[in-house]
Amino acid sequence: MSKKEKKRAFCEECGLSANHHFHTWTESIIEATLPNILPKGFENLVGSVFESLLSLLKVVRYEKNFEPELLPLKSRVLLEEAKSRGLNAALQKGPYGYTGNIKLRTDWEKNFTFRWLPLTNSSKFNIDDKNQVKRVLKKEGFPYVQGKSFWFFQKRRANLFAKEAGFPLVVKPRSGSVARHVATNIKSLDELEKAIHSVNKYSSRFIVEKYIPDSWVYRATVVGNQVFCVKQIPANIVGDGVSTIEELVEKKNTDPKRDIGTKTDRLYHDIKYSVNPNLILKRGGIVYLQKDPFMKFGGELEEVTGTIHPDNLKLFRDIAKHLDLKLVGMDFIAKDISIPWNEQPCAILELNSLPCIELHHFPTKGTPKNVAGALLEETIKEYK
């Protein structure tokens, strides 16, 4: 394959393969066209029986010796914690490689299995569907963002909605994670058109919603009754009165706290300078190099669990309880997490059934939180 062909095989915007985009496209169409006829509990039972049958036929098997790097970081963090507690882990392998199904054995001789993380997908509906979540939040009186869902062929309707709602706006896939093909602070129809073109590469359905300015995005992870929270901060540098912007960037790139085991742990990921790289910042002066706080753009994570206002803690717990979720990630946008949610512009942007718990283990600022430990304790409590 030539260099040009390799470049075409991967998306320049999110780094994923064309095959992955095809999968997300078809998956979004299937979710929209095939109704959920069977109760989720029955589906889980059928899946368990089917897996037992495959194991009996020796089509799949669990292996104790496997490379942790085969798993996403969220799963590796969990298994490291399990190992420290004396729990034995095994990873399922099928005819086409490892499946992501994990089995843990407790000290009281009990096995439990899960895919990537335990206690996921317990809700009555697909909480990763951002439009469904928006409707539920609105109905129950929880803070949400005004927005509307569209198919890839409904660009004209999206433009009409944008004019009615007013700029600035956000465009994002109806399902998906890690801010793939998300555009924020859209201020014109031209920017909207580019954002829709981008999001349609990833998904057949997208959402256009209002943008809340002068705010921060927080990731709150609820495990049982516990809440953990990090503040997402756009890529930035702080002046020392001596170094140039370019030199400050290089210093920050070598900070070991930035390495959370991902491919996007650098401050820059094909980012163009918006300021003179030879400029020397005064001591304490701060320059934000990106408008979005996404990790793939060099964003940072500040541990802020101890500063959450009690009303906001209650909000996160109430949402999880209402949806019967023992594990959920919530993207919450607000000016200040220490101010009650009903006293400032804010909203729950989306929910994640398979949250990135590693964010709390590797904050750029603040003391790490052992979310994996809390999740294991909640899981063992559930199985007992």
Check if the beta carbon of residue 138 is closer than 8 Å to that of residue 168: no
What pLDDT was estimated at residue 59? 65
- End of a domain among 97, 115, 133? 115
Mean pLDDT (whole number) for 344-362: 94
Return the closest-CA partner of residue 69 out of 61, 79, 84: 79
What pLDDT was estimated at residue 271? 46
What pLDDT was estimated at residue 328? 95
Residue 223 has pLDDT above 50, yes or no: yes
Mean pLDDT (whole number) for 224-243: 91
What pLDDT was estimated at residue 269? 41
Mean pLDDT (whole number) for 112-129: 80
d(CA 179, CA 296): 9
Give yes or no: residues 105 and 219 share one domain.
no
For 313-340, what is each residue's pLDDT tens digit?
999 999 999 999 999 999 999 999 999 9
Residue 226 has pLDDT above 70, yes or no: yes
CA atoms within 13 A on the CB side of 189: 10
For 89-118, what is each residue's pLDDT tens digit?
888 887 777 778 888 887 656 677 888 899
d(CA 52, CA 126): 25
Give yes or no: residues 326 and 354 share one domain.
yes
Q: ω into residue 168 within 30 of 0, thus cis?
A: yes
Give yes or no: residues 67 and 139 share one domain.
no
Specify the higher pLDDT residue, 147 or 54.
Answer: 147
Give yes or no: residues 52 and 91 share one domain.
yes
d(CA 326, CA 171): 29
Domain count, the chain: 2
d(CA 228, CA 256): 23
Residue 187 has pLDDT above 70, yes or no: yes
The answer to whether residue 336 sits within a structural domain is: yes
What pLDDT was estimated at residue 188? 94
Give yes or no: residues 340 and 375 share one domain.
yes
Give yes or no: residues 364 and 229 share one domain.
yes
Specify the higher pLDDT residue, 328 or 178.
Answer: 328
Give yes or no: residues 141 and 44 share one domain.
no
The distance from CA 68 to its chain's CA centroid, rounded to whole angstroms, is 21
What pLDDT was estimated at residue 264? 41
Beta bridge partners of 105: 88, 111
For 16-62, what is each residue's pLDDT tens digit?
556 666 667 766 776 666 655 545 544 454 455 556 665 666 667 88
Give yes or no: residues 77 and 130 share one domain.
no
Task: With both helix axes pointing from N to C terminus, report the angle between 189-202 and 155-165 in degrees, rounded to the nearest 10.
Answer: 130
For 72-89, what is each residue's pLDDT tens digit?
899 999 999 999 988 888
Mean pLDDT (whole number) for 289-315: 86
What pLDDT was estimated at residue 287? 83
Average pLDDT, the chain: 82
Residue 194 has pLDDT above 50, yes or no: yes
**% of the chain surpassing 90 pLDDT:** 44
- End of a domain among 96, 115, 134? 115
76-79 contact pairs (CB < 8 A, 24+): 76/261, 76/358, 77/357, 77/358, 77/361, 77/371, 77/372, 78/117, 78/118, 78/357, 78/372, 78/375, 78/376
| Domain CATH code at residue 320 | 3.30.470.20
Residue 384 has pLDDT above 80, yes or no: no
Prediction pTM value: 0.83
d(CA 52, CA 359): 34
Q: By residue range, what is the domain housing residue 355?
A: 118-145+213-234+290-384
Give yes or no: residues 301 and 360 share one domain.
yes
Residue 245 has pLDDT above 80, yes or no: yes
d(CA 165, CA 261): 40
**Phi and psi, residue 379, nearest 5°:** -65, -45
Check if the beta carbon of residue 284 is closer than 8 Å to that of residue 239: yes
